[in-house]
Amino acid sequence: MSANHSLPAPVVIGMAERVRLVFGHDGVATITLCHPPLNIYDLDMRDGLIEAITAVRDVPDVRCVVLAADGKHFSAGADLSEFGTADSIFDARRIRWDRDPWLPLVNLPVPTLCALHGYALGSGLEMSLLCDLRIASEDSVMGLPETKLGMLPAAGGTQSLTAAIGPVAALPLVLSGVNIDAAEAHRLGIVCEVVPTDDLESRTVELAGQLARIDQPVARALRRCQRAANDLPLSDGLAVERRWAHLVAAGEIQAP
C-alpha cells in the first residue's frame, strides 16, 4: 500500500478474543478492547494488543491510532485471578513483562488518542497514559490502586503519570491509590477534554480525524519535540526543537 493513499474501506481484524482492530478509510486505526463489562487486562488481551499495535505499525497508510473499549468501562485493570496461577503476584507480573505491549505503543510513529469511559484503573489508566492525548466521558473514574495491593503501578504508571502532570500532582495519586473523577482528571491535566458520555464516540471520531489530517512529517517532529520537553534539560530541548524545525523546513523528514 502506498503511503500517499488511504485505505479504500474500513477493514476489521480480530486480535485473539480480547482486541479488535479497525483500519478506517480516513487513515485512522482503532484498537478496541472487547472483553466487557470490565475489559480486564489479562494475558490474552496483552497478546491481542501486541498483535494489533504491530499490525498498525506496519501499515503506512495509518495516520492516527485510537485506543478505545467496548462496554460500560474502558478497563478496570489487571486480571488478579491470573496472579493465583503463579507463585506470587510478583511472579505473575514478571510473566506479563516477558511480552510487553507498552513500548510498542509508545513507539508508534503516528499520533495516538485514547477515549476513556467508566472505570480506567491500574493498567487500564496506564495504557492510556502512554498515548499522546486522552479524552474522557463524564462518567469516567481513574486511579492507580496497585499501592493498596503492595505493588508498584509498573505498566508505566510511575513514569507516564509523572510525565503527564508532574511529580507534585502525580505522587499523591500513586501513593494513596485514590480514585478520581473525570473533572478532577481534567483539572490535573490527565485528560485534555471531558465530554458527555453519549458524545464520547462522536468526539473521538472528530478529534482523530483532526490528528490524521496533520502533515505526517510535522506530526512526527512535534511529538519528538514534545517528548524532549520531558526527557531533557531546557537548553537541550530547545536544541532538539531547532533541529527538528530545520528538518521540517528542509523537507528532510520522511513520513512513517
Please pick, among 17, 146, 201, 206, the residue that the annotation labels catalytic.
146
241 counts as catalytic: no
193 counts as catalytic: no
For the chain, strand residue ranges (E) read 11-15, 19-23, 28-33, 64-69, 112-116, 119-121, 133-137, 141-143, 180-181, 193-195
| Residue 72 pLDDT | 96
Q: Where are the domains of the chain?
A: 11-212, 216-249
Please pick, among 126, 138, 193, 206, the residue that the annotation labels catalytic.
126
Pick the CATH number of 11-212 from 1.10.357.10, 3.30.160.270, 3.30.2090.10, 3.90.226.10: 3.90.226.10
pLDDT tens for each residue of the chain, 256 residues long: 333 333 445 666 666 689 999 999 899 999 999 999 999 998 899 999 999 999 999 999 999 999 999 999 999 987 766 555 555 555 555 555 566 888 899 999 999 999 999 999 999 999 999 999 999 999 999 999 888 877 777 678 888 999 899 999 999 999 998 999 999 999 999 999 999 999 999 999 999 999 999 988 888 888 887 887 777 788 888 888 888 788 888 776 665 5
